[in-house]
Structure 1
Amino acid sequence: MSIPPAPRAPIRPGTILVREHEQKLHHVVVTKDGFSWNGAEFGSLSEVAFAITGTRWNGPRFFGLRAKTARNGAAASP
């Protein structure tokens, strides 16, 4: 039997997330209603990741807020 992960604390408004993709830095600002990137507002990090890459991503994973998991659901070793 596995123990579920502890809930994560929400990201505070005003936090800036930075991600490099295709040799370009992207800065996303956490707002009280979602996220702001390139002057556009988004409701989720997954929407921002899609806007940046053009492909579906788990937003928290794309921005390094969630660890990758192994196929069995356990955290992958570094």
Structure 2
Amino acid sequence: MGGLSKQTTAALTRSNSKAKPKAVSSALKPGARLLREWNGVTHVVDVVEGGLVWKGETWRSLSVIAREITGAHWSGPRFFGLNGKGGS
């Protein structure tokens, strides 16, 4: 009757947070398509219910995709020109 231990509660919390897909962005809705040319290659990212699709794989964030494309740390929204500051 004492409830769950702190360890069990923490494990359930971690497990629960992994199960929920993280929101990509409130501005990006499923069906949107982002295009970005980098070093002569056009990269296409489609927004879907569970995240972002790039090169046939589902990703959780634009920043991870931008890092894969460039090999450097980028703000994904900035790289794809979503925050008005543009990327280079």
Aligned residues: 61
Query: CA shift at 1:31, angstroms?
Result: 1.0
Q: Which residue of 1 aligns with 2:55?
A: 38
- Alignment partner of 1:47 is 2:27: no
Q: RMSD between aligned alpha carbons?
A: 1.4
Question: Distance in 1 between the 2:66 and 2:26 partners?
Answer: 20
- Alignment partner of 1:15 is 2:32: yes
Q: Which structure's residues are more often helix, by fraction? A: 2
Letter in 1 for 2:50: D
Structure 2, gaps ≥5 residues long:
1-24
Letter in 2 for 1:25: T
Q: Which residue of 2 aligns with 1:4?
A: none
The alignment's TM-score, normalised by the length of structure 2, stands at: 0.64
Q: Structure 1 stretches (4+) deviating beyond 6 angstroms? A: none
SS at match of 2:64: helix
Query: CA shift at 1:67, angstroms?
Result: 2.3
Query: CA shift at 1:10, angstroms?
Result: 2.0
Q: Which residue of 1 aligns with 2:82?
A: 65
Residues 25-50 of structure 1: per-residue CA shift (max 9 Å, x gap): 00000111210100111101001101
Question: Distance in 1 between the 2:26 and 2:52 partners?
Answer: 16
The alignment's TM-score, normalised by the length of structure 1, stands at: 0.72
- Alignment partner of 1:29 is 2:23: no
Residues 50-78 of structure 1: per-residue CA shift (max 9 Å, x gap): 1111111000000000123xxxxxxxxxx
Structure 1, gaps ≥5 residues long:
1-7, 69-78
